[in-house]
Structure 1
Amino acid sequence: MPFFQSPKPTEVGPKHPLRKPLLDALRPRIEGDLKQPVLFRVTKLHVLGDFAFVVCEPRTPADKPIDFKKTHYKSEIDQQVFDGATTYALLKKIGGKWKAVEHVIGPTDVAWSNWAGPPHNAPKALLGLP
């Protein structure tokens, strides 16, 4: 067993005080991308240090699926390189406030793996990377 183990991410559940600030920081970025208001169905929300990693599905305010064919993702859907509504996002605490710095919707691969390198250098443990 190694002498030093890297810290483990903290799960941010529904009643955790960071949940609302994190999702509120992500919301404008996703709403800007999709050009519509959204709410989130969260699959994973973890924090480690000044970073947060979110796996979620954006939904309409009525909690219905978003019709991605009515967004700029239509061409990816038509080319069969869009793998559904699952959204991955990286947030970073900057100047004491959470800010969404990266996101990807419907990737067909591990599109977030490069977030562990420059310019973000997010903890690999947070992203679920070896």
Structure 2
Amino acid sequence: MPVRRFVLAALVGVCLAGAAFAQPFREPAKGSTERGAILDAIRPAVEAEMRGPVEFVVTTMRAAPNWAFMQVEPQRPGGGTIDLAQTGLRDEAEMMDGLTVFALVSFQNGRWNLVDHVVGPTDVAYAGWPLRYGVPAALLGLEQ
């Protein structure tokens, strides 16, 4: 009997520990204030690189209480295409895979703030973010 209790207690402990570390991720609703604030956190950096105003087509957006991760496609307002040759990234064009932006933002001091981003990576450039910033790997869609 004591062995069974120990095994049962161990299993319950593992389940509870897993639940404690599980993070509820959600996609902020289109048109919501939260979604707009998350996108606005990355907008200045992307606009500086694109050398002009942008709007985003969201491919992926996952948010947790203090983190948000997104994959977005920048375009000119109204849906216009961005000419890479006219951006601040033109010298890196041969080493890029389009203009896809992957970004990490954190919620601090009552607002969303850009932590890191990468434009047009040819690999999983954000794979080191969990170690570097302490963001849950699952938020980034990375297996642990």
Q: TM-score, normalised by structure 2?
A: 0.81
Larger Rg: 2
The alignment status of 1:106 with 2:120, answered yes or no, reads yes
Matched, 1:26 2:42: yes
**1:72 partnered with 2:85:** no
* Aligned residue pairs, count: 127
2:25 corresponds to which of 9, 21, 42: 9
Residue 56 (structure 2) pairs with residue 43 (structure 1):
no
Q: Which has the higher strand share?
A: 1
Decide which moves more: 44-53 or 12-21.
12-21
Instruction: Report the counterpart of residue 127 of structure 1 in structure 2.
Output: 140
Contact conserved, 2:106 with 2:114, CA < 8 A, in 1? Answer: yes
- In the alignment, residue 73 of structure 1 is paired with which amino acid? L
Q: Which runs of 5+ in 1 are unaligned?
A: none
Matched, 1:58 2:74: yes
Q: Runs of 4+ in structure 1 displaced over 2 angstroms?
A: none
- Kindly indicate whether the alpha-carbon contact (under 8 Å) linking 1:48 and 1:123 is maintained by their aligned counterparts in 2: no
Taking structure 1 as the reference length, the TM-score comes to 0.89
Q: Which runs of 5+ in 2 are unaligned?
A: 1-10
Larger RCO, structure (CA 8 Å, separation 6 or more): 1
Distance of 1:59 and 1:66 partners within structure 2: 6
- State the shift of 1:62 in Å: 2.8
Question: Could you say what the CA RMSD is over the residues aligned between the two structures, in angstroms?
Answer: 1.6
Percent identity of paired positions between Structure 1 and Structure 2: 35
- 8 Å CA contact 1:73–1:82 kept in 2: the answer is no
In 2: Cα distance, 1:16 partner to 1:25 partner: 14
**Aligned residue in 1 for 2:130:** 116
* 8 Å Cα contact 1:41-1:57 kept in structure 2: yes
More helix per residue:
2
Tell whether the 8 Å contact from 1:83 to 1:107 is kept in structure 2 after alignment: yes
